[in-house]
Chains A and B, each alone.
Chain A
Amino acid sequence: MKKLHDTWGRSVHFVDVLVRQAHPGPGARAYRTFGEKMADAGRYRWMEAIAWPVLVDDLQGTVHQCYGTLPAPSYLIDIEGRVAFYNLVTHAPTLDRAIVALLDQGGRGIVEGGIDRTPHMLASLVDGWRGLRRGLPDSRWDLGAAAPGMPSAMWLGHQLRPLLVPIALRARPLPPGARAGLVAGAGLIALALVRAAARATPRGR
């Protein structure tokens, strides 16, 4: 989002709305008072170095629930106040394409089909641990019970962050050549693994 803001911050207003804790735990308790939430909003803004307004939804999540109650969605709103694009799981390259399209058509109308429902799991795996670790240990156990293996995958994604960031946390879509290279590389690795497994398997009796 920061990279996106660096690119488009002069043409597009960025606004963040703080909602309920997605993965609460001892280090990041579920909000019980609005004062707690306001204080946490200040910390959140500082921790994430957010350079745009962070708004604080009320304790019942009135605005959040009105806008669909998803944990981390983004809406691109056109100059007339209508939804131009709805990114159900915030994904910077997708938003980048939508912003380009919106500005190209004069800031009005629906762009990129209007909605993106892709879960964008790779970005969540690479970036998710940062949020999860704030609520440790409960956040990890709770997510593990709900989606077995997910916290470990997030931890691994975090460890491999330097390698994966250029692919998973881009502000712009990957060039087609790089995408083809990645697919080919993944194919080669899969092939090598299959061959290694075949070699390791004893021949038939």
Chain B
Amino acid sequence: MSESPASTPILQAEGLSKAFRVSDGERLARRRSITVLDDISLAVRRSETFGVVGESGCGKSTLARCLLALLEPSAGRVMFDGVDLARIEREGLRALRRRMQLVFQDAFASLDPRMSAGAIVEEPLLVHQVGDREQRAQAALEMLASVGLTAEQAARRPHAFSGGQRQRIAIARAFVLRPELVILDEPTSALDVSIQAQVLNLLRGLQRELGLTYVFVSHDLTVAEYFCDRVAVLYLGQVMELADRTALFHDPLHPYSVTLLSSVPVPRAGGRARRAARRRPIGEVGSVAERPPGCPFEPRCPVGRGRAVCQGERPALSSAKEGHLVACHFPGELER
């Protein structure tokens, strides 16, 4: 059966792996390879918000960069709108870049301090030679207006803005080319909750208005649950579980997802009793440099720790329920 273009995932990773060569301590000659992403397959549907969550070192940011062809995969492939990114020439990639953009956590570091907000937002239009000078300036002002910044503010440089306003400028710059897909890498992690609320509202509004697809990378599970339609949980560079928001947050099947979700403190009354009733996480967050041979979560897993199959055999990501994928030998055994 051939798929209609509308059902083709806008973005797809197939068996994506990424290894980095690192020097071992002081002995530069002794280099070894560390696999940061290990055989990741996922498909992002058009107009959805696809979440990628996990703890530090799980490979979230590396995945974001591979998906945008900012990093070259060591194995596997990434396809944008059905086209393998590795097979596209430089010029083609440039054209594709117009259609996919990235917003970083640290807006300030990504904004040129010598340029005005207006010039920053206008720059991508210039790079991609969109319109004439007047049209570009006009488009930049309109984009800034839609993120809530005035024409007067457009003349100011980044240092004159607050953290939340800088993130708005970064968003305006990413959106001015009218991309189809935007990867948001921890876009609100550095912001206070009140500012975070404004930025999340803004991103939602823009998505609705422009029909965008988002890949939302976050370590904040509460924000991910609020903001995403589907979510992939990463641990040590592997997808542990991938499901709809409701299924993942209400009925998680992987012991790692359960552990992660029950570690999130909830801002409601009765918190002390709630925390006392919870199981405490076992051990330290692992490292991709010392990935266990079997399931990466085995050494910390309340279900599989010490079990031969979990120690010896890496579980494949497979369908447990309709649209609910999990990589575990004993899915659903650990209850929330």
Whether chains A and B associate is no
Residues of A within 8 A of B (CB): none
Residues of B within 8 A of A (CB): none
